[in-house]
């Protein structure tokens, strides 16, 4: 099973987490109580890439990579990035896109290709940007509009749009 393979993979052992949250633990992803702990795995790709000691060549990557088992051989994958809201959204667009692209193209398609290109598994992938610190009502209504300008991310033959979420999104059972 994929979760067991990833949990026991020697390159990932140090990057498996109990929860998905930002560094200050102000933002997090919550899991429905209906999901047994053995049915999901949280990996910290940003910590994984930092450990490679690539210096300025360290690729940008999201905060969390969550694999959720849905049915035998079927999985949901959530790529989670936490950000505090800034009015400087133009630079944010490129940074966010690069982080998710690293996860799909390097992490899944190259470094852990054996697991994620395994024909025994089917994936539904959802990149999610969790934005916080939005106090103005007008800004809150439009804070995710810049995501519409981003091209879809590609993994295999499928394309995925980045979904914007308020703080503390919930992952429900499949």
Helix (H) or strand (E) holding 96: helix 89-102
pTM of the full structure: 0.90
For residue 29, which of 73, 76, 71 has the smallest C-alpha distance? 76
Segments making up each domain of the chain, as ranges? 2-171
Contact 122, 157 (CB under 8 A): no
Burial class (CB in 10 A: 0-12, 13-18, 19+), 108: buried
Q: Tell me what pLDDT residue 61 has.
A: 96
Count how many residues are written for the chain: 174
For residue 162, which of 23, 59, 62 has the smallest C-alpha distance? 62
Which residues make beta-bridge pairs with 40?
Answer: 68
Q: Tell me what pLDDT residue 135 has.
A: 58
16-17 vs 40-43, strand pairing mode: antiparallel
Contacts of 139 (CB under 8 A, 6+ apart): 85, 87
Give the residue ranges of the chain where pLDDT is below 70. Answer: 85-91, 133-146
């Amino acid at each position: 099973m994929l979760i067991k393979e990833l949990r026991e993979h020697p390159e990932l052992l140090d990057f498996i987490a109990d929860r998905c949250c930002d560094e200050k633990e102000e933002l997090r992803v919550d899991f429905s109580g209906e999901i047994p702990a053995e049915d999901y795995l949280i990996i910290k790709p940003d910590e994984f890439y930092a450990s490679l000691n690539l210096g300025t060549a360290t690729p940008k990557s999201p905060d969390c990579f969550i694999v959720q088992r849905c049915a035998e051989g079927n999985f949901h994958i959530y790529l989670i990035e936490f950000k505090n809201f800034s009015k400087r959204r133009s630079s944010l667009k490129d940074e966010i896109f690069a982080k998710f692209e690293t996860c799909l193209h390097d992490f899944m398609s190259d470094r852990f290709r054996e697991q994620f290109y395994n024909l025994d598994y089917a994936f539904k992938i959802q990149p999610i940007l969790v934005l916080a610190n939005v106090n103005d009502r007008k800004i809150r209504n439009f804070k995710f509009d810049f995501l519409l300008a981003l091209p879809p991310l590609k993994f295999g033959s499928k394309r995925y749009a980045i979904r914007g979420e308020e703080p503390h999104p919930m992952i429900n059972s499949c």
